[in-house]
Amino acid sequence: MPPPARSSRGGRPYDRRAVTEPSRIRNFCIIAHIDHGKSTLADRLLELTHAVSDRDMREQYLDKMDLERERGITIKAQAVRLAYDGFELNLIDTPGHVDFTYEVSRSLAACEGAVLLVDAAQGVEAQTLANYHLARDAGLSIVPVVNKIDLPQADLEGTRADLAELVGCEPEEVLAVSGKTGQGVPELLEVVIARVPPPDGSREAPLRALIFDSTFDPYRGVVAYLRVKDGVLPSRAKVRFMATGLDSEAEEAGVFAPEATPVDRLETGEVGYLITGLKDVHQVKVGDTVTVAGKGRASEPLSGYREPLPMVWSGLFPAEGGDYTELRDALDRLKLNDAALVFEPETSQALGFGFRCGFLGLLHMDIVKERLEREFGLELIATAPNVEFHVIRGAETIVVHNPSEMLHPGTYDRVEEPVVLATIITPAEHLGAVLELCQARRGEMADMRYLSPTRVEVHYRLPLAEIIFDFFDQLKSKTRGYASLDYEPIGYEPSELVRVDVLLHGEPVDAFSSVVHREKAYRYGRRMVERLRELIPRQLFDVAIQASIGSRIVARETVKAKRKDVLAKCYGGDVTRKRKLLEEQKRGKERLRRVGRVDVPQEAFIAALRVDQQKAAGR
């Protein structure tokens, strides 16, 4: 079926030459926790503004928009333009996860206002709170909204009071809507128009457009999502990316209405996309400023740009040694679309050739690993994630992001590790358990306040290394799932960290080395040797499994030598079957990795390295 003419898609035809006065533009985003109803509310906004005809409307329209149907391109809408009552409203999508705090901050910088959306039955969550603080710090006008007021278990007044307290307004000023029924949504649009200021910026000034996201499209190259802060962005122009210093012939500017629609230019204050003419997503960085190339270009970029910083590191190794080239190609492909992914070749004695990869956080790590496995059909072994340590020796700072490269005690002055400020919101009844967990994870309380008589917000300074293991799972289990967590890095601090090695039959296994706090080193070593004792098959000799700090052995277990491995019976009718059993056993042996004299099955590495990681959901 051919695509319908564009004019029939929306409730009203879109005029690509129309110019909207900045005073009639509103740029805003919706801050909401997962499942608090952002997508459903967005559907109602699309309907109310006739952006999509009734016939084309589907649930969670923006989430599922598949632009491949049109022009075969795969641009995902990150910002949708809505026409309402003579106003141009740009709704900008923001990632919600803590791993992407920088990306969130750039999306927020493209807005003047934020709808703070909270589920009437769930209340304020930590992630919402963190993003609210980001938005407030960015100077955005906040429109507090309680959603899902149609639910029987909705606590409208309580949630209203919490939000009013948080934002510093009267409870009556908090809007009440139902994304499901549409109740209160027209009023919300009116309030957005009334309260969110129009964009400022100067049409006469040199062009400065903020890139708040970018993607790679196989047909059209790198697509930047941007907000024009000053000046005008013509549809086809030679543009400069100020942070990278690159010039490029941009091929097309456009807006999402909500389908990708080319425009003649993007005006001051407008939001849209630019097909940059570049082929590498690393040339188009989130937070960079686009200006015109040559004469008339801006002299100063917009503030706030920084390079993406990996926070969590892990070694990725192909389970089958021969897949190294495939893993490298797959990482190269992923990097096309993921500017934050960094990797470098790593050789492990135990795991062979692989890559040490840096991620923004655990979610990012999980996403990358899952995509490598699912989209590229690779079977991977991932080493336990670790943070980046700074080893200070005299005037020198050595950056270590692989535990097996960590220096041994006595060869340096001190070690520093990254520390985060964690925000935890918990029902008051679980406060004790939360404090206990934070203390056990070397936390230091910053402050604590009651959001309401039953909900508490706690701030803890915690080493990032303590959070990246099973902290979130522990938090959830200790609070029956009710606590929420967010955190932001606040720098490096000195710490009593030591490297713990694991030895098999006297040989250190680099993949099992870890850098842990001195007080926890023994427990880590103990746990690893106990786990490995279960996982390492018996060999023809006793295998010592040891954990050591420097030259000191802190834990030891022994896998006793195997004594019996024989087929009891083998008569005329058994020979074929027994031969096949032996062949199978032989194939199993071929899959073993040899560490010194010890044969270790692949599964032992995977199981020993498995940590219960924080999952995306609920963070």
Site for other proteins in 521-550 (CB under 8 A): 540
Q: At 5, list the tokens.
A: 């003419």
Of 554-583, binders to other proteins (CB under 8 A) are: 560, 562-573, 575-576, 578-579, 582-583
Confirm or reject binding of residue 594 to other proteins (CB under 8 A): no
Query: Binding string, 225-244, against other proteins, x = CB under 8 A?
Result: --------------------
d(CA 423, CA 487): 6
* Nearest distance, CB of residue 505 and other proteins, angstroms: 15
Count of H-run helices and E-run strands, the chain: 14, 33
Nearest approach, Cβ of 595 to other proteins (angstroms)?
18
Out of 589, 594, 610, 615, name the contact with other proteins by CB under 8 A: 589
What is the distance between the alpha carbons of residues 40 and 198, in angstroms, rounded to a whole number? 25
Write the interaction track for other proteins spanning residues 168-207; mark x where CB under 8 A is met and - where it is not. Answer: ----------------------------------------
Considering CB under 8 A, how many residues would be counted as binding other proteins? Answer: 23
Binding mask 385-414 for other proteins (x = CB under 8 A): ------------------------------
Q: How far is the CB of 535 from other proteins (least distance, A)?
A: 18
Q: Using H for helix, E for strand and C for coil, what is the string for 492-520?
A: EEEECEEEEEEEECCEECHHHCEEEEHHH
Dihedral angle sign, alpha carbons of residues 70, 334, 236, 225? positive
Counting every residue written for the chain, the total comes to 619
Q: Which of 410, 391, 403 is nearest to 552 (CA)?
A: 410
Return all residues near 568 (Cβ < 8 A) that are at least 6 apart: none
Give the residue with the Cβ less far from other proteins, 552 or 563: 563
| CA gap 412, 400 in Å, rounded | 13
Report in angstroms how near the CB of residue 534 gets to other proteins at its nearest: 16
E strand segments, 518-597: 543-549, 552-559, 593-595
Nearer Cβ to other proteins, position 501 or 557? 557
User: In angstroms, what CA-CA distances link 39 with 34, 78, 117, 309?
Assistant: 10, 13, 11, 29
Is the dihedral angle over the CA atoms 439, 441, 447, 449 positive or is it negative?
A: negative
Task: Specify the residue, 347 or 585, whose C-beta has the smaller distance to other proteins.
Answer: 585
| Of residues 447 and 590, the one with the C-beta less far from other proteins | 590
Q: How far is the CB of 351 from other proteins (least distance, A)?
A: 23
Q: Which is nearer to other proteins, 306 or 560 (CB)?
A: 560
- The smaller minimum CB distance to other proteins, of residues 194 and 570, is found at 570
Considering the complex, state which of residue 440 and residue 575 has its C-beta at the smaller distance from other proteins. Answer: 575
- Given the complex with other proteins, which of 205 and 575 has the nearer CB atom? 575
**Sign of dihedral through CA atoms 128, 131, 137, 140?**
negative
Sheet holding 312-318, edge to edge: 342-348, 352-359, 312-318, 380-382
CB of 506 to other proteins, least distance (A): 18
Name the residue nearer to other proteins (CB basis): 8 or 585.
Answer: 585
Determine if 295 is a binding residue for other proteins (CB under 8 A).
no
Contacts for 235 with CB less than 8 Å, ≥ 6 apart: 250, 252, 253, 254, 262, 263, 264, 265
Binding site for other proteins (CB under 8 A): 540, 560, 562-573, 575-576, 578-579, 582-583, 585-586, 589
